[in-house]
Amino acid sequence: MMPKRYQIKQVVQFPERTAVQKEQSENALFDIVQEEITDNTTYCQALINKIFRLPYAQLPDFFSHHCDFVKDPIKWLNKFEKLISENEEMFVSRTMRGRMMKCYTIIESKRKELEILRNRHTHTKPPMQYINAECEERYFSFREVKSKVNAMADYTDKIMFLTKEKFDFEQASIDFINPKLPDYSMQCQKEIDQIQHLNRLTNEFSIEQMQKSNKGIPIGKLKINCNINQLVDIFYQLHRELFADGKPIIDGSINDIVAVIVNCFVDKDGRELSPQTVKTMLTPSKSDKRPKPHKRIDIDKML
C-alpha cells in the first residue's frame, strides 16, 4: 500500500475498469489485479498508486496498456484525467507536480491519437476517381481538400492547411497514383498561389477605396509592434463591449472596421494585414483568435 499521504481524497466513477484476473496478468508492472479491487474506490486508488510508483519513462506505455482493455479508451482517459484533477493536492512537491503534468501531457497526446484513429474509421472515403494518390497511412484527395478549404474562414488557416497537405504528400511513400488526376502537390501549390493572389488584390482594392474616400490625402501606414490580435481586440472592445449613451464607442459595420485596420496599419515587419484574418478576429464567436485575458490590452481601465 502507498503511504497515507498518498491516499486519494476524491474518487471518480469509472464505467469501465481495466483490472485483470491474477492468472491472466502478463505485465505485473502495469496490470491492476481484480482480486485486489473490491469497488470503484479501490480501483481509483490502485490507478493513483501506479502513476506514483512507475518511472517517468514507462508512464506512456502504462496509459497505452490500459487503453487496450476498454471499449471506449477516450472516456477512460477523461475519467483518469478527472481523477488526477480531483486529487491535485497530492502533487504538492515539485517532483510530484512534475509527475502530474507529465500524466496530463500523456493523456492529452493519447486522446488526440485515439481521436485521429476514430475519425479515420468513421470518415467516408471518396470514390477512387476523386483520389489523387494513396500510401499505407492515408489517401490524398484534392477534391476533398478543396471542400475543406472553402469551408474555412481564416486566410492563415487555409494556407497552413494546404501547405501541410503538400508537405505530407511530398514526404509520403506513395503506393498508388491516379494517372487521370493532376499531381496532388501541384494542385495544393496552385490553390495556395490563388488564395495569396486574391488576398493581395483585396488589400490593394481596399487601399484604393480608402485613398479615394480620403480625397487624395496621402496615407502613411502605422507599424504595429504588438501582436496583431491585440490591436484588433482594441477595436473589438470599442465596437462590442464599451458603450457611450447606450451606443458602441465605435459604431459601424465589421467590414468598415476591417477596412480601417488594414488600410492604416502594417505588422512589425512592414507586411500588409489580411482583411480575412482581421475579420475573423472581430467575429464574436471567434474568441480563440483574440488575445488571452492576460495578454489583452484592457481599454476599459484607460477610459
Say what the pLDDT of residue 3 is: 45
* pLDDT value of position 228: 93
Q: Which helix (H) or strand (E) holds 98?
A: helix 94-122
Q: What's the grid cell of residue 70?
A: 476498454
Residue 238 per-residue DSSP state: I
What's the mean pLDDT in 183-193?
95
**Does pLDDT of 125 surpass 70?**
yes
- pLDDT at position 34 is 92
Backbone φ and ψ of 12, nearest 5°: -125, 135
pLDDT-derived band of residue 119, with 50, 70 and 90 as boundaries? low
Mean pLDDT of the region 76-83: 94
Would the pLDDT of 44 be above 50? yes
Contact, 84 vs 131, CB < 8 A? no
What is the arithmetic mean of pLDDT over 59-70? 93
* pLDDT for residue 224: 92
C-alpha cell at 150: 472553402
Closest CA to 292 of 239, 227, 235: 227
Residue 172 has pLDDT above 50, yes or no: yes
pLDDT value for 242: 86
pLDDT on residue 35: 92
Any idea which of 47-51, 89-93, 265-269 has the lowest mean pLDDT? 89-93
Residue 14 pLDDT grade (very low, low, confident, very high; cuts 50, 70, 90): very high
What is the pLDDT at residue 2?
A: 43
pLDDT tens profile 208-239: 666 666 555 556 789 999 999 999 999 999 98
